[in-house]
Amino acid sequence: MLKDKKILFYLLVILYLGIGIYLSITTGITSDESFEQLNWDKNVSGIISLLNFGHYDEFLRYLDKYHGIAFHYISQPIQFFISNLVSNLNEVSDFGGHLMSKHSIVFLIFSLSGIYFFRLINKITQNLFFSYLSTSLYLLYPYLFGHSLFNMKDIPFLSMWLVTTYYFLTIIEDIYFEKNLENKKLIFISFLTAYLISIRILGILIFLQVLISLIILFNIKDIKLSIFIKNYYKKFFISLFSLVLFVYLMNPIFWLDPYEFVNSIKWMSNYFNNICTLTLGDCMNSLSLPSSYYFIWLFFKLPILIILGIITFPLVEKKIFKNDLHTIYYGTYCFSALAIVFLFILLRVNIYDEIRHIMFILPLLFLVGLINIFLINKKVSYILSIFTVIFFIFENISLNPYQYTWLNSFAKFTKIEKNFEIDYWGVSGKNLSKKIIRYTKDNNLNKDVCIYGDEFAKDYLIKHGFSCFKKYQQLDSAKVKPVLAYKNLRNAKRSDPRDCKLIWDETYNYTLYSKKISVGTLWRCD
């Protein structure tokens, strides 16, 4: 029986990985991917210039030099081997294939985070079945699963945050049981932390989470700060030295001027990008966000099961805090997520694209919600989790490839398309490009017909002989007709083009929601 369960488990893992990898390398190119590639190229050219005693100052003048490149240390070597395969599979340009080949690495990193999610929830529940069930729910959550198919910015950061959280808690455990802290373990955690910071400078917030863990530990064990410093100051300096060394090694921008690390924090804290995010029908600008923005999006993005779990905290408080170690684990998950949200509100951090920039706290909220449900009633938690997993499977099937736009069932009582930002990264560009190729063939249009839309979609069309590409904003001034125009990304919210005929509406359906959601339209303008 046990052997059969293991075989079934491994088959499900293989199935998940197989489907995920396939979907990742066939999901369309998104708007920020070419920028990420440019950022990597700029860093490489800066390194080459430095090694050749060239003009490193050219790299220092690069405006977006503070965006971390740590993810690309893993992705670029793998891209080299699979780029041609992905390009041929998707009938996309060589450059487009190179961009899309990153997707599978993003998905595998997200899948890896599932191992640590399992370990973190099992620390409290000590129930293998529920821990496996919860991990399945986390990995199939349409919003994160959708992002894991392409998002090289936030998914690697989220995954590494979860990994680093787990290993930091092992350090807290060692202190709790008064074990000796091994230097190799401290250096390893320093490396993980440096890697996290080198993906996004926001990774320094992990120290806020560590501080919360230590405060809880000090109160439980009645540890005095002076005694703690006396016992561990040598270990602290080993960790600090290792961390600084790894951070500087992973970030070429710091090599000539170490003070650039401080500049990077200042720059990211005051990041200027005034983008409107459609939120309950209002255009909320990133430079003047109300505090409600965070809670609105969390309310509609989190699964209902997790929301129910979070609000039941008063019912499980005594069960959680009767065990000292459980108090540390749970307190870390719960108070870290809260502290980060309130810190973002307090500092008026510039965020947009719903909750993409605080996506890394979602696993922490999942842990809190699921643990609460489990502690209330085991059988009920099993039933609700199984139902949610099944529901997520159907949602992923119906939404593909737009899973990242997922909203919970509360949103289905509103007009989703008019109230929320949908395909803000332009995943629909691939399907719209396919329709352009099909339409020009069926209607005997020459390949030199001009295509007006978002620039990144041209990677699909170049492969099929198209050569004229213009920005959507230039459509009204177009002098040569006929032309084809597509609206997606944020321009989907703009008015329809004048004197043009709608020839395709790219839509998808939610489970248990009758209305189709439009993510892009294709027009012929004569």
- Residues 206-243: tens digit of each pLDDT: 999 999 999 999 999 999 999 999 999 999 999 999 99
Q: Percent of the chain having pLDDT more than 90? A: 65
As given in the structure block, the two tokens for residue 390 are 């099944």
As given in the structure block, the two tokens for residue 227 are 């005694």
DSSP-assigned letters across all residues of 282-320: EEEEGGG--THHHHHHHHHHS-HHHHHHHHTHHHHHHHH
Query: What would the mean pLDDT of 473-492 be, rounded to a whole number?
Result: 77
Question: Which burial class, exposed, middle or buried, applies to 51 when counting CB atoms under 10 A from its CB (0-12, 13-18, 19+)?
Answer: exposed
Residue 82: per-residue pLDDT: 93
Q: Indicate the residue type of 51.
A: L
Q: Is the Cβ–Cβ distance between 101 and 148 less than 8 Å?
A: no
As given in the structure block, the two tokens for residue 387 are 């139902």
Residue 109: per-residue pLDDT: 98
pTM: 0.95
Polymer length in residues for the chain = 526
pLDDT, one tens digit per residue, over 115-168 is: 999 999 999 999 999 999 999 999 999 999 999 999 999 999 999 999 999 999
Q: Is the pLDDT of residue 478 over 70?
A: no
| Strands annotated E in 214-311 | 276-279, 282-285
Region class of 281: left (phi > 0), else alpha (psi between -120 and 50), else beta: left
| Maximum CA extent, the chain | 81
273 or 413: which leads in pLDDT: 413
Q: Is the pLDDT of residue 332 over 70?
A: yes
Query: What would the mean pLDDT of 488-495 be, rounded to a whole number?
Result: 69
For residue 331, CA distances in Å to 186, 323, 418 come to: 23, 12, 38
Residue 399: per-residue pLDDT: 95
Residue 4: per-residue pLDDT: 75
Name the average pLDDT for the chain: 91
Q: Which residues contact 431 (CB under 8 A, 6 or more apart)?
A: 28, 401, 506, 520
Residue 230: count of CB within 10 angstroms of its CB? 10
Q: Is the pLDDT of residue 64 over 90?
A: no
Q: Is the pLDDT of residue 307 over 60?
A: yes
Quote the DSSP letter at residue 420: B
Q: Is the pLDDT of residue 491 over 60?
A: no
The full set of domain ranges for the chain reads: 2-405, 429-525
Question: pLDDT grade, residue 482 (50/70/90)?
Answer: confident
Q: Percent of the chain having pLDDT more than 70? A: 97
Residue 514: per-residue pLDDT: 80
